[in-house]
């Protein structure tokens, strides 16, 4: 009976262990299931938010498309009627005339910035190379001196060792003791020289691996000079259009999205205006003697220009009020110049 009872108890413990292991496995699977469920709910919520955001963007795009279609329908209606078609053409040609001036000003600033940046980049690299050459010369001199000291120190150690080897007799005891003390000092000096040599080599390695610094961009002085040139060029464009009488109509047309209700006159007057617009385009695009003119304007503006602080690159418009060459360009934001100026 005792062995039988013992066997029964062992089977009972085995069954309890299996049931306990099964319960632990079920618990782990349940925890894993709830964790996956929480992650799925989170992902589903994120997808819903993304869907809602896309729906809002679609609604915004539909609204913008509807407004554009409405504008196109209005434009078609205007162009379909002879009495409104010619004024509409004049309106859009005036806008294009203003856009041409703004494009010319933008290209002018971009070209100056590119040229000046190339010059400053070359000067920056030349100065960096000069400094690197001076550093390399100094490091190489230190390296050569360290090599010489290391060789001399090692030679001194070798010399003491050879002299000690030559003193083998017992009456050379005191000489050997004195030389061993000198040898110890020579070994210490040789070790220090070796460390100096290693430091000099490390400095040379670091110099060779050093990457050139990045060019920080145009200096404040360069951006100020380019901005003054832009102001002078903008005023030059204004002066070219002033005799045609189209400067103000073009500026007004550029500030509107749709043709105004009032027209630009009858068909004959509109045709004359469009002819004048073509002549104004030619005036804007001419480049004859413009460089000298702009340089003279810049020199006058530079004498008057004031800035809010040392890092500001856009001149204060009031400081140029005494100059006919630039006050109107900044005061009236001609050709949207504030969007073109370099910050």
pLDDT for the residue numbered 166: 83
Query: Is residue 289 pLDDT above 70, yes or no?
Result: no
Report pLDDT for 82.
Answer: 66
pLDDT at 122: 92
pLDDT reported for residue 5: 57
* 42 pLDDT above the threshold of 60: yes
**pLDDT tier at 2, thresholds 50, 70, 90:** low
Report pLDDT for 17.
52
List strand residue ranges (DSSP E) for 180-295, in order: none
Mean pLDDT value across residues 92-105: 91
Q: Is the pLDDT of residue 76 over 80?
A: no
Tokens of 184: 């110890």
Arithmetic mean of pLDDT, 170-185? 81
Q: pLDDT digit string (tens) for 204-239? A: 888 888 888 888 888 999 999 999 999 888 888 888
User: Which segment, 28-42, 99-113, 305-319, 322-336, is predicted with the most confidence on average?
Assistant: 99-113
pLDDT digit string, tens, across residues 315-336: 888 877 765 555 678 878 888 8
Query: Does the pLDDT value for residue 25 go beyond 70?
Result: no
79 pLDDT more than 80: no
Q: Reply yes or no on whether the pLDDT at 176 is more than 60.
A: yes
3-state class (DSSP) for residue 13:
helix
Residue 342 scores a pLDDT above 70: yes
Asked if residues 262 and 83 have their Cβ atoms less than 8 Å apart, the reply is no
Q: Is the pTM of this model over 0.95?
A: no
Does position 10 have pLDDT exceeding 70, yes or no? no
How far apart are the C-alpha atoms of 160 and 155, rounded to whole Å? 9
Q: Average of pLDDT values for 239-264?
A: 83
Residue, of 158 and 323, whose pLDDT is higher:
158
Task: Tell which residue, 258, 223, 254, 227, has the closest CA to residue 241.
Answer: 254
């Amino acid at each position: 009976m005792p062995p039988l009872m013992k066997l029964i108890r062992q089977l009972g413990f085995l069954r309890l262990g299996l049931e306990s292991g099964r319960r632990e496995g079920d618990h782990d699977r349940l925890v894993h299931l709830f964790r996956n469920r929480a992650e799925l709910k989170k992902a589903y919520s994120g997808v819903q938010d993304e869907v809602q955001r896309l729906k809002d963007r679609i609604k915004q795009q539909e609204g913008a498309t509807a407004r554009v279609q409405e504008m196109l329908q209005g434009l078609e209606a205007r162009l379909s009627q002879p009495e409104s078609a010619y004024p509409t053409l004049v309106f859009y040609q005036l806008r294009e005339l203003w856009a041409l001036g703004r494009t010319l000003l933008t290209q002018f600033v971009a070209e100056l910035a590119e040229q000046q940046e190339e010059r400053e980049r070359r000067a920056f690299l030349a100065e960096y190379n000069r400094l690197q050459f001076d550093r390399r010369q100094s490091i190489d001199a230190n390296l050569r001196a360290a090599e010489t000291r290391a060789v001399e120190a090692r030679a001194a150690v070798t010399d003491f060792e050879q002299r000690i080897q030559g003193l083998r007799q017992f009456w050379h005891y005191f000489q050997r003791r004195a030389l061993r003390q000198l040898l110890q000092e020579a070994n210490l000096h040789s070790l220090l020289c070796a460390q100096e040599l290693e430091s000099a080599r490390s400095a040379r390695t670091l110099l060779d691996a050093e990457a050139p610094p990045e060019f920080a961009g145009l200096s404040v002085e360069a951006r100020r000079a380019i901005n003054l040139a832009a102001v002078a060029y903008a005023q030059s464009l204004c002066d070219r259009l002033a005799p045609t009488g189209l400067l103000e109509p073009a500026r007004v047309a550029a500030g509107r999205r749709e043709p105004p209700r009032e027209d630009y006159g009858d068909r004959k007057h509109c045709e004359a205006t469009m002819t004048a617009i073509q002549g104004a385009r030619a005036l804007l695009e001419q480049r004859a003697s413009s460089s000298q003119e702009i340089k003279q304007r810049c020199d006058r503006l530079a004498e008057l220009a004031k800035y809010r602080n040392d890092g500001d690159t856009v001149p204060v418009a009031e400081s140029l009020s005494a100059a006919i060459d630039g006050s109107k360009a900044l005061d009236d934001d001609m050709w949207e110049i504030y969007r073109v100026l370099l910050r």
